[in-house]
């Protein structure tokens, strides 16, 4: 890769996200990673530009995504239960919508989206049979 390509990434401090992040860095990409305030960072590779923010906050996404060629959207709320179910829905639906809209606005070439799988959905389908 002659000139390093900038990648914007969400979910970098998570289990799957950190694995993806390591691979991107190894491949020579310049990575700008959105991390929540207080999220663990000790396991993240050096050389990554960490940007504090939240996928539900359009302004933090807009400023962090600007100039990126690719977006890896790996962030999600994976909890199986929350006292307020809307917390999970807001992150997974509204947050994803914001990331996608801002990627479009910024002229990102490609978005790679790791979809959250709800293990309860498969169990419900099996129970209906």
Q: How many Cβ atoms sit within 10 Å of the Cβ of residue 62?
A: 15
| pLDDT given for residue 125 in this prediction | 56
Q: How confident is the model at residue 90 (pLDDT cuts 50, 70, 90)?
A: confident
| pLDDT given for residue 73 in this prediction | 97
Digit-coded pLDDT (tens) for 14-58: 999 999 999 999 999 999 999 999 999 999 999 999 999 999 999
- β-partners of residue 8 are 32, 71
| 6-128 carries CATH number 3.40.50.720 | yes
**DSSP at 116:** P
The answer to whether residues 11 and 47 touch, using CB atoms and an 8 Å cutoff, is no
Q: Both tokens of residue 85? A: 């179910």
| pLDDT given for residue 1 in this prediction | 46
Give the DSSP letter string of 8-50: EEE-TTSHHHHHHHHHHHHTT-EEEEEE-TT---TTSPTT-EE
**What share of the chain has pLDDT > 70, as a percent?**
87
| pLDDT given for residue 2 in this prediction | 47
pLDDT exceeds 60 at position 118? no
In the chain, domain spans: 6-128
């Amino acid at each position: 890769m002659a000139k390093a390509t900038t990648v914007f990434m969400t979910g970098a401090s998570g289990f799957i996200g950190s694995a993806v992040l390591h691979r991107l860095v190894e491949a020579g990409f310049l990575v700008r990673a959105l991390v929540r305030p207080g999220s663990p960072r000790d396991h993240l590779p050096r050389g990554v530009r960490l940007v504090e923010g939240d996928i539900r906050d359009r302004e933090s996404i807009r400023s962090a995504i600007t100039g990126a060629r690719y977006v890896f959207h790996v962030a999600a709320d994976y909890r199986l239960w929350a006292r307020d179910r809307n917390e999970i829905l807001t992150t997974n639906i509204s947050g994803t919508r914001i990331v996608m809209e801002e990627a479009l606005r910024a002229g990102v070439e490609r978005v790679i989206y790791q979809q959250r799988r709800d293990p309860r959905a498969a169990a419900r389908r099996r129970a209906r049979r």
